[in-house]
Amino acid sequence: MTGCGGEDSVSITVFDEMGNSGAAVVAAALAAEIAAGFGERAESPLSLVARAGDDIVAGLNAASHWGWCYIRHLWVQADWRRRGLGIRLLAEAETQARARSCVGVYVDTFSPDAALFYARAGFAQFGLIEGFPAGHARIFLHKRLT
């Protein structure tokens, strides 16, 4: 069976980095198709930092898109944990998400302790990939804001 133009006329090139022109073409083409079907992503970054004096002791990086806020990173320095910084950062992220008209927040984690933290903050688990990474699981959680 032969595709359009013949499969024998297509070559595949392998790159070990994303900084090549082919990666940019693929990303742009897929973004255009997604935008045509689902609307513009209109991604807007969000970063929150907690300081003690000049030292950064906690922070949260997120992005809002399509009416949802994705928490990419939530980190609290070990000796600052269990002092409420994580929940304060999460609450501020939710406030910022609401200000951006987001209907919800979502996050993924490898840490069962982090998953419990998010559950206590009102998040519900909606997915799990066992063995990712090996011997562990990737846990997906979300929280509706409306």
Question: What crossing angle do the helices spanning 112-120 and 85-99 adopt, rounded to 10°?
Answer: 60
Apex 116 CA angle, 111 and 119, nearest 5: 125
Q: Which two tokens stand for residue 12?
A: 């595949």
Matching residue, tokens 């949802």: 68
Q: What is the pTM of this model?
A: 0.85
Q: What confidence tens digit (pLDDT) does each residue in 36-72 have?
A: 999 888 899 999 999 999 999 999 999 999 999 999 9
Q: Phi/psi zone of residue 13: left (φ > 0), alpha (ψ -120 to 50 degrees), beta? A: beta
- pLDDT, tens only, 81-122: 999 999 999 999 999 999 999 999 999 999 999 999 999 999
pLDDT tens-digit series, residues 3-40? 566 667 999 988 888 777 888 899 899 999 999 999 88
* Residue ranges in the chain assigned as alpha helix (H): 21-38, 85-99, 112-120
